[in-house]
Every structure is written in structure tokens, then in C-alpha cells.
Amino acid sequence: MKGLITLSFRNVLRHKKRSLLTILSVTIGIFALVMSSTMINGIDETTIRNYRKTMTAPVKIFNTDYFNERNNLPLENLISDPDQIITTLKSKINHVEITKRLNFRGRIIVDINEVICNVIGIDPASDNRVFNLKNDILDENKGTVYDNFSNGENQCLIGHDLARIIDGAIGDEIIVYTRTVNNAHNAVSYYIAGILNTGNPEIDSFSVVLKFADASILADSSGYASEIDLSLNGNYKINSELLKNDVIHNINGTVSAYTWKEQLKELLTFFAMRKVAQKLIIVFLLILAVTGVTNTMLMAVFERTKEISTLSAIGMKNHRIIEMFIYEGIIIGITGALFAFIISTPPILYICIQGISLVNSDLTQNMPSKIYGYFDFSYYFYAVIAAVFAAVTGTLYPALRAVRLNIAQVLRSK
Amino acid sequence: MGIIAGFKNITKSYHINEIRIPVLENVNFQLDSEDMIAFVGPSGSGKTTILNLLGCLDTPDDGEIILDKIDIYGLSKNRLAEIRNEKLGFIFQSFNLIPVLTAYENVEFPLLLENISDKQTRKDMVMEILDKVGIKELAGRLPSHMSGGQQQRVAIARALVKKPVLVLADEPTANLDSKSAGETLDLMRKMNEDLKTSFVFSTHDSKIMNFAKRLITLQDGSIVKDERK
């Protein structure tokens, strides 16, 4: 009913400051909701993307007894025949890209200081077809640096945070120490061929990347591998579950295959729990918005008892009076959502396109060094629904109070 | 002239802290169409209560109220709202215009409630009545930009725009200066003559008592005098 909407609109405009404050509370609620969703989902997406491009292949093969201990990077329960498995899988699965890695703990010795690190042994050529470390080299000539690493003697790549900690630069010599497979002490010196900025703190802050053969010599592991990593040629869309099924049919019982979701199970569970917490915060914000709107509308009802009674006297039915207040709530909700849309779009676009750099920040210990927002326009849709829901819910009680007024008594009062 | 409304053995009381305070005791009367009736009496005699009952704004404890041949006892709130919209007009002491609506929109509002969807029809009806009450040129003004007399004219226009069978006016001149009060009463008499609408007043104002065609005097909730002039 157009007349009712006109009346509701003018009622909202009647107390401009009060309405503006209520609208602002809705705006702030939606702004917080949209921004936090963008940031948190962005962190989640960036983290997963960084893991997948540096460490977490679509499908990985581990020795069955290694998987549960994999976070400790042990030199036990390694895959003894990685090349044979790779050859078999390459012959059986179309378009597959496969590489192997050897991971173990070590220490970088600089002067008299030691810094704990993870050593990752990779096969440079095949690794770059499954992962993408080359692209994360901090140098304009990434290809040249990667070639130097691949072809040079005793060359290594090192995470940029770790390089900062040891004050290392390209060409510097570092000594990497470890306990070998046989628990013997071993230390070898390497030259820094390049510095990595992957966004994955496990690489950037803790890792030294060696060629597989060099890592194998350092750990005295006889060519054994910690893992075999599989992906599909870049032209093919990867379905991890299907790829895993193909792998399972072609490996023996001593090794097992895991999809990236299984590899990141703990992380994904943590993200899911954080999303639950995020939803609880959203509900809390909604309750705040509902309370704000209820307060405003209750004041409106108390101030306008005579008007409401007059409208009722001239024949306005109760449901129309409720409608009038609900329209007022909807106008407040939609206006609040519109304001939120206007003020949140620039920062969201900036975060999504430019990203926020956390390099040189202590935060990078646990988070990606650069995060990009993840925004879906459906957030606005849900935000508007939430705003209107909050506004309508906040309006219902005052509206019901309005229709319960004793018209005769109100009109009698002077 | 026919009978437009009637009270039969109407009793009404209010309760304050569980104490029953009788307001009307066994009240009976009938109102003729095209009439101008004034209920008079001291404060607390039951004048406003009678108007509220006639206006379907309140319900009696006992008795029968007939309005335009409809027994309104026990009707739902929505049905009572329909009856108020279709058959009644209200004029209040403090005008009770909607402050955010212009004079035109205030008068138009009952037509919107009656679902008269054609805009031109509504406009014709509103402008006709605004012309009749003499404030056509103030159609676009908000109530806050009008004098008390002008606001009461808008209220009269709002009450009459649907051509109701009965207009209930509770102390319509109490907030007006004597000149505006006189003009308002003249206007209502003219409307009564032109539109054949019945007016029922509750008043202390001697001017209204003088110009009403029938005077019903109340005391302590009972009719003590009913005189036609």
C-alpha cells in the first residue's frame, strides 16, 4: 500500500538524528559482518591456496605408518622405492604430474648461533609441475635463479623470513646440520641461490629447500622419499577424489594416498570451528541491531500513541498498523544496508585486489604473509536479509504494543 | 429522517485497582439521521464514553448498540475498524492530524484505507471537500504550518470525505479561539445541511449547545434531560 509506505517513510524522517543513529547501528553491524567475512574467508582461502601451491598436493602418497607422524618430519617410515611408484603411476594415469620430496628437521648454523629449520628436498624439474615454488622466488629473473638452484652445486632456496633471521642474502654460504637416518651427525654447507616468498609461513619462516639428491646425502636416506606428490597437467581440472581412486588402484599396501582435504584435515576443522564462532558473532551483532531497532520503535510507539489511536479510529486495521511499523523497520534496515554497501565496497575491493601485506610482521608466524580478501556478492544479499530481519524483528514487539493500545483511553487523555 | 443509531440499556464501567467505577447506567436513546445532537453535562458525566461507544472505540458492559442497522456488540476489531472507516467520521478536540502528512494527504488517508485505488477519484473527492471547508489552497501544507482553526477544518474534511452517516465530535471547539470556534460551528452546520450528515457532539461549549438541534443532558452516567429545539 503506497500510502502506508509514504507514511512510514515520513515517520522515519520525522526524527532524523534518532533514525540516523539507528541506521548507523545497522550499518556498523553489516559493515562488521561483511568485512569480517571477507577477511576471515580471505585468510582461509589464502592459507589453503598457499599450502596447495607450496606443500599440499591434490593427492599425496605416504608410507602408511608415516602419515600420522608427518608433522614431525621424521626420517623413519620413508617410501623406499619412490621412483618405481612414480614410474608405475605415470604409466597408468593419464596427464598426471608427479614429484617426490624428502622432508626432515635441521638447523642452520650461522657463526655460533643455530636456527631450527625444515629441510625440503625437491626434484626441481618435476616439483615445479606439481607445486609452484619458482613463481615465489623474490627476484625479477625467477627462471634464472631457479635454474641456478637446479643446476648449481650445493645450492639452496631459503624462506624470506628465515633469511631475515639469519641475515642471509643470495650467494651467502650457510651450514645446514641434521641427524641422519642412522642418527649420525651431519652438516653440509650450501649457497643461497634464491629467497622464497610463498605466503606460506612454514616455507617463508622455517624452510631451506635443497635438491632431492643433496637432501638425501645430508640425511643419508639412500634416495628414500617422505612423500610422493601428484597433480594433473595444468590443462586438466583436478578432482582429488578421482585422482586418489586412480592412485589407490596402482599402489601396494605399504603406502597410502590422501587428498589435500585429508592432508589439511586439522586446518580445515579449525576453519570450520572459526566459522561457527564467526556465525555466533553475527548472531550477537544481529541481537544488538534488533535491540537498537526495538528501542527506537518503542520510543516511536510511545510518542505516537495518539496518532496510532487516531489512525485506528479512522478505520485503520490492526494488521495495517503493524505493517506501517514493519515498513519503518524495513526502511531503516535497507538504508542501513545501503550505507554499509557504500562504505564497505572500497576497502573490500582494496583487500581483494591489492591484499594486505603482513611481511615483517610477527603475525606471519601463524598467518600468510600477504592476505587477500575473499568476497562473494552473496554476502551483501545475506547482509541485507540480516538487516531487514533485524529491523523487522526489532519492530514487531513495538508494533504489537501499538495495536494493543486502548484507543478510547488514549484519545480521552489530553 | 430515519434512525441512525441507538443505545438500549447500555451500562459501562471502568475498573481502577479492582474498584468498579460506573460511568453509564442503563442509558437509552435513539439518534435520527441528518440531526445535530449535543451531549452535555459536567465532567465525568459520561459524555465522552457515549461518543466512544457510538464510535466503536469502546465496548459496553451490557446492552445493545445499533449503528446504521448493525448491532455492533461482539464484532471483531477488524470489523469494527471497517465500520468506523465506512460509516463514521471523527473530530477531536486537539484535531489529531497526522503531523507528517499534508492537509491533502490527511484527508486522503481514509480513502486509502477504504481501498479507493483510483488516484483521480481520490483527488476529486479530497479537493471537493477541502473546497467545501474553505482550505483548498492549503492542501499542500503540513499541520504544523496551519492555525488551529485551519487544522480543525482539515479534521472536519477528513471526517466528511467518505460521506459518513455519523460524525462524532468530542469538544471540537475547546482548543479554538472564539472566532475560529464560531467559524467551525458554522461550517459544521453547513455540512449538516449540504451533506445530510448527522453530527453528535460532546461539549461544555454554550455555542454548541445553542446551535445543536437536540440537547441530551447527562449526570452521573444517566440521561436527565433530552430536549429538541
> For residues B190 and B179, what is the distance between their CA atoms, to the nearest angstrom?
17
- Residues in A lying within 8 Å of B, measured between beta carbons: 1-4, 6-7, 10-11, 13-14, 306-307, 310-320, 407-408, 411-412, 414
Model confidence over A56-71: pLDDT tens digits? 889 999 998 999 999 8
pLDDT band at A379 (very low <50, low <70, confident <90, very high): confident
pLDDT over 70 at A363, yes or no: no
pLDDT over 70 at A414, yes or no: no
Rama region for B44: left / alpha / beta (φ>0; ψ in -120 to 50; rest): left
Domain boundaries, chain A: 2-51+267-412, 58-259
Nearest CA distance, A288 vs chain B (angstrom): 29
pLDDT over 90 at A158, yes or no: yes
pLDDT band at A182 (very low <50, low <70, confident <90, very high): very high
Which residues in chain B touch residue A402, judged by CB atoms under 8 angstroms apart? none
Q: Which three cell numbers stand for residue A178?
A: 641434521
> Is-contact A37 A379, C-beta < 8 A?
yes
The pLDDT of residue B181: 86
What would the mean pLDDT of A95-106 be, rounded to a whole number? 95
Model confidence over A211-241: pLDDT tens digits? 999 999 999 999 999 999 999 887 667 788 8
Model confidence over B189-201: pLDDT tens digits? 888 888 888 999 9
pLDDT band at A359 (very low <50, low <70, confident <90, very high): low
The pLDDT of residue A364: 45
Q: Do B96 and A411 touch (CB under 8 A)?
A: yes
Nearest-CB residue to B81 (from A4, A306, A315)? A315
Nearest CA distance, B84 vs chain A (angstrom): 5
What angle do helix axes A378-403 and A305-313 make, rounded to 10 degrees?
Answer: 80
How high does pLDDT run on average in chain B?
90
CATH topology assigned to domain B32-61+76-228: Rossmann fold (3.40.50)
Domain boundaries, chain B: 32-61+76-228
Q: Do B57 and A408 touch (CB under 8 A)?
A: yes
The pLDDT of residue B1: 66
Q: Do B81 and A307 touch (CB under 8 A)?
A: no
Q: Do A313 and B98 touch (CB under 8 A)?
A: no
Q: Between B75 and A157, whose confidence is greater?
A: A157
- Residue A186 sits at φ, ψ, to 5 deg, of -150, 140
The pLDDT of residue B85: 92
Q: Do A317 and B78 touch (CB under 8 A)?
A: yes
Q: Which three cell numbers stand for residue A14?
A: 520525522
Nearest-CB residue to A407 (from B57, B113, B170)? B57
* b/e code B158-189 from CB counts within 10 Å (16+ = b): bbbbbebbbbbbbbbbebbeeebbebbbebbe
Please list the residues that pair with A225 across neighbouring strands: A79
Coil, helix or strand for A237?
coil
Chain A, nearest residue to B14 by Cα: A409
Count CB-CB contacts under 10 A for residue B151.
25
Q: Do B85 and A11 touch (CB under 8 A)?
A: no
Q: Between A281 and A371, whose confidence is greater?
A: A281
The pLDDT of residue A368: 59
- Residue A154 sits at φ, ψ, to 5 deg, of 50, 50
Nearest-CB residue to B81 (from A3, A11, A312)? A312
pLDDT over 70 at B71, yes or no: yes
> Is-contact B134 B154, C-beta < 8 A?
no
Q: How large a percentage of chain B has pLDDT more than 90? A: 62
pLDDT band at A73 (very low <50, low <70, confident <90, very high): very high
Q: Do A13 and B112 touch (CB under 8 A)?
A: no
